[in-house]
Amino acid sequence: MGRHQPGQGRTGPRRLRHRATPLGPLAPGPDHLLVAEGDDGHICGYALATPPNKGQSWIVSLAVDPAVQGMGVGRQLMRETLKSLRAAGTGTVLLWVEPANDHAIALYESLGFVRDPAGTRPDHFGPGADRLLMSLPLSG
């Protein structure tokens, strides 16, 4: 299947919505959970970032339903998340990515993220769980 062909019974997102997290009351401050909803209200993707702390925010998680991958949902989620982080005062956005995750790395690089010059950190999240640090300065 080509990457721009949606899977059976699935459509791309109709809208992106900011959602309160279930932990809202325990984690005061602006949250940055963005979900992409399809026509029928199903969630077909989400992005979660941390509020700025000392000017830095982390993209904690980003995922798109395999049925609608390659249709621009991930890029939309990332763009909207970066916009919301910029508005919240984030100066630098950071994230960890698996060094073999070419699709995600291509997306991040196209948005301006750069790889940490230190390179891949072996076993960062445990044995075999290598990670690459990427960062993006947000201006103005």
Chain residues in the site for ligand COA (CB under 6 A) = 3, 62-64, 69-75, 97, 101, 103-104, 106-107, 110
- The residue (of 3 and 15) whose beta carbon lies closer to ligand COA is 3
Nearest residue (CB) to ligand COA, 2 versus 25:
2
CB of 106 to ligand COA, least distance (A): 3
d(CA 133, CA 49): 15
In 3D space, the residue among 40, 41, 22 whose CA is nearest the CA of residue 31 turns out to be 22
Terminal alpha carbon distance of the chain:
41
Residue with smaller CB distance to ligand COA, 31 or 65: 65
CA 114-35-116 angle, 5° bins: 10
Report, in Å, the least distance between residue 31 CB and ligand COA. 19
